[in-house]
């Protein structure tokens, strides 16, 4: 079976080049080829324009993608890196590439006084709809350069999901620490009047959260006994808890259900918050992704199930 590629989308921006460097590391650690892709515009676009203009546009596109690919080769000389200019709508082309990719990697895009807070339209569309894991490379230098030796997993459901399996596999490959975190808050009906919480207003809710996270990671703990796991249940809203803890992580992993609406396929509130505010790269794992965290598709991997954040 042909190995899937790690696909990095570039657009000539500094954030895209930053993402390519991160993608080169990811491809190297997984032993996968890296494809650097630049989307030049709609297929057939400019057919009525002068040949000289089309040639100039093509030359610019090839310069952008080759510059990015060369950056990846210099950063990881042993990596297998290819570059390609593809015609079409950027988001649509990257989503198509994601059908066969092990992972899609894009940079954040900010503008003006809020640079770093606004997610670019292409990155947002790809993250919301790609059929494979998507990593949006953002955050401070320590997080992007994996200086913390720590992956953060946001756990939202009691059942093991694709994000859990992805995080365990990624942690095993990187040989770092995995922090699995579930944020909890007591609903009004579960406070002091609950029979199991008499005298301890939050004890029942906290114990229930601890049981949830234990169930969610149990199978992966058995499958990856060497992974150094630290589980934590933290009182607070998921978005605030995970954003705060992302400051000490190299990657945050979350899963998502995609709720189709008339306006499209929006991501969950927690995922959106992380994509705008996290201090490290964010991996979003869709429920339809094929394999449990391993881009090379190990035979032992089972089909993924969803985790909703």
Give the tens place of pLDDT for each residue, 214-259. Answer: 999 999 999 999 999 999 999 999 999 999 999 999 999 999 875 6
User: 142 phi and psi, to 5 degrees?
Assistant: -60, -40
Cα torsion angle, 167, 26, 244, 10, sign: negative
Instruction: For residues 234 and 118, give the distance between their C-alpha atoms in angstroms, rounded to a whole number.
Output: 27
Split at pLDDT 50, 70, 90, the class of 52 is low
**pLDDT number for residue 1:** 55
- The whole-chain average pLDDT of the chain stands at 82
Q: Residue 298: pLDDT above 60? A: no
DSSP letter at 236?
A: S
**What pLDDT sits at residue 114?**
34
Indicate if the alpha-carbon torsion angle 93, 35, 122, 112 is positive or negative. negative
pLDDT at 169: 95
Residue written as token pair 């808050």:
185
Closest CA to 285 of 119, 161, 171: 161
Distance in angstroms (rounded) separating the CA atoms of residues 177 and 168: 10
Number of Cα atoms under 13 Å in the Cβ half of residue 269? 4
Q: Say whether 103 sits in a helix, a strand or coil.
A: strand
Domains, the chain, ordered by start: 1-138 (3.40.50.620), 140-309 (3.40.50.12370)
- Say how many C-beta atoms besides its own lie within 10 A of residue 48's C-beta: 6
Please state the rounded mean pLDDT for residues 138-166: 92
pLDDT at 146 over 60: yes
What percentage of the chain has pLDDT greater than the value 70?
A: 77
Asked whether the beta carbons of 201 and 175 are under 8 A apart, the reply is no
Structure tokens at 11: 């657009």
Cα distances (angstroms) measured from residue 249 to each of 63, 153, 237, 260, 297: 34, 10, 19, 31, 25
Which pLDDT tens digit goes with each residue over 65-76? Answer: 999 999 999 999
């Amino acid at each position: 079976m042909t190995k899937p590629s790690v696909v990095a989308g570039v657009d000539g921006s500094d954030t895209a080049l930053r993402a390519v460097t991160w993608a080169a590391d990811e491809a190297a650690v997984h032993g996968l080829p890296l494809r650097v892709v630049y989307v030049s515009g709609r297929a057939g676009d400019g057919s009525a324009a002068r040949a000289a203009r089309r040639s100039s546009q093509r030359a610019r596109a090839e310069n952008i993608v080759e510059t990015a690919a060369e950056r990846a080769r210099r950063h990881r000389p042993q990596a297998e890196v290819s570059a390609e200019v593809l015609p079409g709508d950027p988001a649509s082309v990257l989503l198509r590439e994601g059908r066969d990719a092990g992972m899609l990697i894009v940079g954040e895009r900010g503008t003006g006084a809020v640079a770093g807070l606004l997610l670019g339209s292409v990155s947002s569309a790809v993250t919301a709809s790609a059929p494979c894991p998507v990593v949006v490379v953002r955050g401070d230098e320590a997080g992007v350069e994996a200086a913390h030796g720590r992956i953060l997993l946001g756990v939202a459901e009691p059942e093991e999901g694709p994000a859990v399996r992805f995080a365990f596999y990624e942690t095993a490959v990187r040989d770092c620490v995995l922090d699995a975190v579930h944020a909890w808050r007591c609903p009004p009906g579960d406070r002091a009047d609950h029979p199991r919480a008499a005298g301890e207003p939050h004890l029942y809710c906290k114990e229930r959260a601890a049981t949830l996270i234990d169930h969610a990671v149990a199978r992966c703990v058995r499958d990856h006994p060497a992974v150094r796991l630290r589980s934590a249940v933290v009182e607070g809203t998921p978005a605030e808890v995970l954003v705060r803890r992302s400051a000490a992580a190299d990657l945050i992993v979350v899963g998502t259900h995609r709720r189709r609406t008339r306006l499209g396929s929006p991501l969950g509130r927690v995922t959106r918050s992380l994509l705008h505010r996290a201090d490290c790269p964010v991996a979003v794992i869709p429920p339809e992704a094929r394999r449990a965290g391993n881009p090379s598709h190990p035979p032992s991997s089972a089909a993924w199930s969803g985790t909703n954040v």
